[in-house]
Amino acid sequence: MSNMIQLKLPDGNIIEIESGSTILDAAGKIGSGLAKATLAGKIDGQLLDLRTPLTASGALEIITSKSAEANEVCRHSMAHIMAEAVLKMFPEAQFGIGPAIEDGFYYDFLLPRALTSQDLESIELEMEKTIKGKLPFVRKELSKSDAIAFFKETNQPFKLELIEELEDQVITTFSHGLFTDLCRGPHVPDTGAVKHFKLLSVAGAYWRGDEKRPMLQRIYGTAFASKDDLKAYLDRLEEAKKRDHRRLGKDLDLFSTQEEVGPGLVFWHPNGARIRHAIETFWKSQHYKNGYELLYTPHIGQSWLWETSGHLKCYKDAMYNPMEIDGNNYYIKPMNCPFHIMVYKSQMRSYRDLPLRWAELGTVYRYEKSGVLHGCMRVRGFTQDDAHIFCTPEQMADEVREVLRFSLKLWKAFGFSTIKAYLATRPEKAVGHEDERWEKATESMRQAIIAEGIDWEVDEGGGAFYGPKIDLKVRDAIGREWQMTTVQFDWNLPELFEMTYVGADGNKHRPYMIHRALLGSLERFFGVLIEHYGGAMPLWLAPVQAVVMPITEKHAEYAQKIYDSLRSKSVRCNMDNRNDKIGYRIRQAQLQKIPFMIILGDQEVENGTITVRMRNGENLTGIALNQFLEGQEWTKEII
C-alpha cells in the first residue's frame, strides 16, 4: 500500500487513492455526481487543476460551480477560449498573458491591426461556437527544451521569454481546439462547462508593463459560473457608467483635466471647489478637535533632503527632474514626510511634548505613466490628506487605536458604512533586525482593529519595508471596494534623520513615527465621492444647496428677499430668474442635482411662505422659510 495516498475531506472523512491519480479520480471515488460537477480542486488550500497528478497526502476540497473559487476557474478557462477565437481571426497573432482577475479576465495580443467593437462581437461569436463544441481541455507536460521548440515553431516570442525565465524543467501546457498555451491551470473539464461571459473592452498594454517594450492590445472580459451572477455584474457595470466621475464631473461642471496644460493635473471648477472647501473645512475642524495641529510646508526642497530620506535612491522614477537655484538642486516634493521631520527637528523635544500629531493638506507631484491616468482617481499632482504622529513606544498602541477611531468616524460622516481593515505584516526585506519591535507594532495594530470592531484580514508580508501597516477599504453604494486610509509605522526615517527626544531618564531616544492618511488624496477621494453618490451630494456637501425660482417677473422682489435671507444664513444658493418656463428651470436644476428648488408665485408672495421642490420630486408647499431651514444639515456637525 506504499503507493497509496490519503486525502482528508472537509467533513473529516479520509479516502485513499493511488499515487498519481487526479483530483477528478478522487471526486469520482466520493461520488459519480460530484465527479460530473467537478471544476477543480484544492490540496492543502492550493488551487489545482482537476487533471493534476497527486503524489502526496493532504486535505482535499472539490471545487464545483457553487464554490467561491468557481468564477476564477471559469475566467481562466474563458481567457483561453477567447485566445483561440482571436487565433482563428488572426492566425499570425502573438500571445502575451491571459490571467483571471477580480471580476473577470484579460488576454494581451500583438495583432496586425487595432481591434474595434465589431471585432469583439465577432470574437464572442467564435467563442460561443467553441463553447457549444464542448472541446476538452488537455493538460500536457513537456521538457523545457521541448516547450521552447514548440513555441519557437509557432512563432510565440512572448511565451518563449516566459519559459526562459522559469526554473522548472517540466513545463505544463493546456490545449483545446487550435489553441495551446503555456499554463499551469486550473481549467474546467471542457469548453462547454463555461457559458456565461461577456467581452467588455480593448485597451493598450505594454508587454510586462515596460513602455520600452511592444504595445499589445488587451481584451477585457468577464465570466461567471451562473447566468444570474453575470447579469447582476453587467447591471453593476451599467450603473458604474452612469456614476463615472469623469462624465459627472463634466455634466455638473465640477472639474476638468486638460491635455494641453498637462496630463494628470486637475482643474477644480467653482462647483467642485465648493465641495472641496466643505470637505477641507470639515477635515480641519475634526483634526483640531482630535488633538492635531496643522502644518503648511514648501513645495520644493534641496536634494540632500531626498537623499537622506532615501527617495532619490528608491523613488526617483516617480520624481520630476530637479531645478537649479543658486547652484543647488531642488526637487518638487513627492511626499510631505521629510518636511514634517524638519519641523520636528527645529527644536529639542521632550517626552512631555509627545505625542505630536501634525496634519497637512499638502500638494505633491509624482510621475505616473500616461496610460494609467484616470480622471481625478489617478493623477500626477494631488493633495494628500496627510499626517504624521511622533510618539514614545509606550504611546504607540493608544495612538494607533485613536487613528482608527478617528478614521471610522470620518468615513461614516461622509456616508460610508461598510469598511474593512487589512493588516499588512512584515515583508521578507525589512529594515532593522528588531523582531520584538515589529511584533509589538503589529500586535498593537491587530488589537486596535479588534477593539474598534472592524471586519479584517491579514495581508501576510504586505507591510512596507520600514514598518507594518493597516489599510482600510470602503465599499461604495454599488458594492465596489476602494482602498483609502493607510496607517503605517516607520522606524527608518527617524533613524535616517537622527530624530530624538529627551526621555524621563534624561537620555536621548528615538521617537516612533506613524504615517497616516485618512482620505488618501483629495482628488481621488473626490472621484470616489462623486461615484458613491452618483453626483447627488448630501446637502452639506452640495455645491449649490438651493436655487430660488420666481415664477414670473412680478415675483422677483420677494424672491430677492428669500435669496438674501438664505445667503445671510450661509446657505449656498443661486437665483434662477430667467424668462424660461418654470418647468424647464426645475428640470435643469434636477439635472444639476441641486437638493432644493424654492419656487415662488402669487400664493407664496401673499402668504409670506415658500414652496420647496426636492430633487427626488417631492414637494413641500406653503411653509415658512425658517421652518424649512430648521432641521436640515446645511453644514456637517462636529463629530
Categorise residue 461: left if φ over 0, alpha if ψ from -120 to 50, beta otherwise: left
Under DSSP, the state recorded for 229 is: H
Distance between CA 27 and CA 24 in Å, rounded? 5
Nearest to 372 by CA among 158, 209, 199: 209
Residues 161/97, Cβ–Cβ less than 8 Å: no
Q: How far is CA 460 from CA 457, 468, 541, in A?
A: 9, 10, 38
Domain span(s) for CATH 3.10.20.30 in the chain: 4-63
**pLDDT digit string, tens, across residues 77-134:** 999 999 999 999 999 999 999 999 988 999 999 999 999 989 999 999 999 999 999 9
Neighbours of 450 (CB within 10 A): 12
Q: Which residues of the chain register pLDDT less than 50?
A: 1
Computed from CA positions of residues 349, 352, 354, 360, in that sequence, does the dihedral angle turn out positive or negative?
Answer: negative
| Lookup: cell for 630 | 430648521
Nearest to 402 by CA among 502, 286, 296: 286
The three-class DSSP label of residue 52 is coil
| Lookup: cell for 600 | 415662488
At how many degrees (to 10) do helices 396-413 and 270-289 cross?
Answer: 140
Class level of CATH domain 70-237: alpha beta
Distance between CA 221 and CA 227 in Å, rounded? 15
24-53 core/surface letters (b: 16 or more CB in 10 A; e: else): bbbbbebeeeebebbbbbbbeeebbbbbbe
| Lookup: cell for 410 | 470620518
What number of CA atoms fall less than 13 Å from residue 275's CA on the CB side? 26
602-621 core/surface letters (b: 16 or more CB in 10 A; e: else): eebbeeebbbbbebeeeeee
Angle formed at CA 571 by CA 283 and CA 546, multiple of 5 degrees: 115
Nearest to 568 by CA among 638, 482, 634, 481: 634
pLDDT for the residue numbered 371: 79
Topology at the third CATH level for domain 4-63: Ubiquitin-like (UB roll) (3.10.20)
pTM above 0.75, yes or no: yes
Residue in the structure block whose three cell numbers are 473592452: 201
The set of catalytic residues is 337, 366, 384, 386, 388, 469, 515
| Lookup: cell for 374 | 484616470
Under DSSP, the state recorded for 190 is: B
Class level of CATH domain 255-290+352-533: alpha beta
Pairing of strands 573-575, 481-490: unpaired
Residues 304/293, Cβ–Cβ less than 8 Å: no
Pairing of strands 46-49, 40-43: antiparallel
Domain span(s) for CATH 3.30.930.10 in the chain: 255-290+352-533
Distance between CA 381 and CA 388 in Å, rounded? 21
Computed from CA positions of residues 210, 212, 213, 214, in that sequence, does the dihedral angle turn out positive or negative?
Answer: positive
First CA to last CA distance, the chain: 69
Alpha helix ranges (H) inside 426-555 = 435-451, 492-496, 522-533
The CATH number of 546-629 is: 3.40.50.800
Residues 46/31, Cβ–Cβ less than 8 Å: no
What number of CA atoms fall less than 13 Å from residue 340's CA on the CB side? 24
Q: What is the 3-state secondary structure (H, E, C) of 237-281?
A: HHHHHHHCHHHHHHHCCCEEECCCCCCCCEEECHHHHHHHHHHHH
- The type of residue at 428 is E
Residue in the structure block whose three cell numbers are 465589431: 118
Residues 18/152, Cβ–Cβ less than 8 Å: no
Domain span(s) for CATH 3.40.50.800 in the chain: 546-629
Q: Which residues pair with 374 in a beta bridge?
A: 378
| Lookup: cell for 186 | 486550473
